[in-house]
């Protein structure tokens, strides 16, 4: 997340909101302007960050579960057909 702070000091602005938004988009970030003095978007900034962290962690957990599931499936072994008599040779009970 990219946050522009002190949005209440508009007369001292060094970067326009549009420029900040454009930079955030180029970098793949969300963008929000905040002002602690006016209590503007402070809570929203924290909520957005926590939501993004939650999504990242959820994606990683899901990927890990899928990796374990695919490993388990691929290591289950070979299927043996019990009805296949080609490998059976009958012997007497006392034959050597």
pLDDT at 51: 94
Token code pair at residue 64: 């890990």
Structural domain spans, the chain: 2-73
What average pLDDT does the segment 70-92 reach? 65
Q: What is the pTM of this model?
A: 0.58
Is the predicted pLDDT of residue 95 greater than 80, yes or no? no
Tens of pLDDT, residue by residue over 4-63, are 989 889 899 899 999 999 999 999 999 999 999 999 999 999 999 999 999 999 999 998
2-73 fold? Rossmann fold (3.40.50)
Sorted by sequence, the CB contacts under 8 Å of residue 24 that are 6+ apart come out as 2, 30, 31
Task: Write out the E strands in the chain.
Answer: 2-4, 31-33
């Amino acid at each position: 997340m990219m946050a522009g702070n002190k949005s209440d000091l508009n007369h001292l602005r060094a970067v326009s909101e549009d420029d900040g938004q454009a930079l955030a988009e180029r970098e793949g970030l969300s963008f929000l302007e905040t002002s602690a003095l006016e209590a503007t978007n402070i809570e929203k900034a924290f909520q957005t960050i926590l939501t993004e962290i939650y999504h990242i962690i959820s994606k990683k957990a899901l990927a890990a579960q899928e990796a374990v599931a695919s490993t388990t499936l691929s290591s289950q072994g070979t299927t043996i057909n019990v009805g296949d008599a080609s490998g059976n040779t009958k012997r007497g009970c006392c034959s050597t």
